[in-house]
Copies of this chain bind each other. A is one copy, B any other.
Amino acid sequence: MPSEAVLEFWFEFASTYSYVAAMRIEGLCRDAGVELVWKPFLLGPIFALQGWDTSHFNLNPRRGAYMWRDMERLTDKFGLPWRRPSEFPRNTIVPARVACAVAGEPWCGDFVRRVYVANFGLDAAIDRRDVVAQILTELGHDAAAILARAESPEWKPVLRANTERATELGIFGAPNCVVGTELFWGEESLEDAIAWALSRAAGG
């Protein structure tokens, strides 16, 4: 008997390619009948494992120059707002902790997309608590209560646990889709990951 198709989306709010993927993944999963699980994590500790103290897009100017041009093309292709952020990468611990605490809420996707558009469409300082609070308020939620929940003893450790799990899964960048233990890296692999989830659920 087929089981339910499930896909984990592992993302970092500072990651440019995660932005493009995060804006698309929920609709793609819904259309395909695949359950989506939001998995926020931090790239900093993963980059440190690879000997980097910042994004490789900063460390490698040739690679970085390509990424910024590619983002112009990709956001144009998918009709997404784009403004190159004045700070890159931003510290994302505040919104990432909130995303961990609301990952099971039906409006988590709305929050995730708002944060990404703030960072990459509006050049807003998503590292700041007041900026994240405003997003929550605009979505109709009690921002103070949710920020308190995100930093509570119950929820605060989830971001670190997610990041440790990301390390175990072999993650080295973002975004990623994970189906079981099968890892798909990059915004261009969303469709392959969804196909894998469907095939696996069908017993393939």
Contacts and interface: CB of A to CB of B under 8 A. Distances in A.
A60 B48 CA distance: 12
Given A188-B186, A192-B73, A172 B50 contact: no
Nearest to A171: B62
Contacts of A62: 49-50, 170-172
Contacts of A192: 73, 77
A66 B188 contact: no
Contacts of A172: 60, 62-63, 66
A65 B192 CA distance: 18
Contacts of A77: 192
A30 interface: no
Given A50-B62, A66-B183, 19 more contacts: A49-B62, A50-B60, A50-B63, A60-B172, A62-B170, A62-B171, A63-B172, A63-B173, A65-B170, A66-B170, A66-B172, A66-B185, A69-B183, A70-B185, A73-B192, A77-B192, A186-B188, A188-B188, A188-B189
Nearest to A67: B185
A63 to B, nearest CB: 5
Contacts of A183: 66, 69
Interface string A8-41: 0000000000000000000000000000000000
Interface string A40-60: 000000000110000000001
A31 to B, nearest CB: 20
A129 to B, nearest CB: 32
Contacts of A66: 170, 172, 183, 185
Nearest to A187: B188
Interface string A59-87: 01011011001100100010000000000
